[in-house]
Amino acid sequence: MMRGLLRQIVTATALCAALGVAQAQEFNPGEPIKITSRTSSINETNGAATYAGDVSAMQGSLVFEADKLTVFYAGGKVPAVGDFVPADQVTRIEGAGGVFVTFNDQVGSANAVVYDLKAKTITLIGNARATQGDNVTTGSRVMFNIATGVTPVGPEQRGDLPAAVQPAAPGVLR
């Protein structure tokens, strides 16, 4: 039991180092969000706008692609928007269906995604896979903090943490 826990700790430490824990990515969460889709609808009851059909949302170097994205607004009020959604009025974005997320040199895919703008976290849910170069993390959930660059990792409900961390070439620091 102790050996399994030690192996998980070593794997998690190596993975965090490989995913750039020490270096947070430059990102401005206040940048407006540009959303394109085939259709959109507004739900005044819950203060959300839903975009469907080849949806793409971009906020600086952060890009979401999904079959459907729902944007939830602060105060439950959907503002009148044009091409850009003001980020300071958005609390979270939820995506479903064929989700792909890119952030600088990191790529994620999953069945669903939740982007919490206040917590500055992106959570990939269901068949989640995150890559950075040759390094890969998979699981039912993978979370990434865009403010700190930290990817908290831990084992699935049962079993080991699935990860593949590639060693750096001799003399190369990651």
Question: Is residue 138 domain-resident?
Answer: yes
Per the domain annotation, does 104 fall within a domain?
yes
CATH, residue 75: 2.60.450.10
Name which residue leads in pLDDT, 110 or 172. Answer: 110
130 within a domain of the structure (yes/no): yes
The structural domain count of the chain equals 1
User: Computed over its alpha carbons, how large is the radius of gyration of the chain?
Assistant: 17
Quick one: pLDDT band at residue 167, thresholds 50, 70, 90?
low
Q: Residue 119: CA atoms inside 13 Å, Cβ hemisphere, count?
A: 12
Query: What is the distance between the terminal CA atoms of the chain, rounded to a whole angstrom?
Result: 31
Residue 168 placed within a domain: no
Per the structure, the complete domain to which residue 45 belongs is given by 2-152
57-76 pLDDT, tens digit per residue, is: 999 999 999 999 999 998 88
Q: What is the mean pLDDT of the chain?
A: 77
Residue 80 has pLDDT above 80, yes or no: no
With bands split at pLDDT 50, 70 and 90, how would you rate the model's confidence at 16? Answer: very low
Write the pLDDT tens digit of every residue in 21-70: 333 446 777 888 999 999 999 898 888 999 999 999 999 999 999 999 99
Whether 52 is covered by a domain: the verdict is yes
Q: Is the pLDDT of residue 152 over 90?
A: no
- Is there a domain that residue 162 lies in? no
The answer to the question of residue 171 being in a domain is no
Residue 99 lies in a domain: yes
The Cα–Cα gap between 95 and 64 comes to 8
Phi-psi region at 86: left, alpha or beta (left = phi > 0; alpha = psi -120 to 50): beta
Report helix, strand or coil for 65: strand
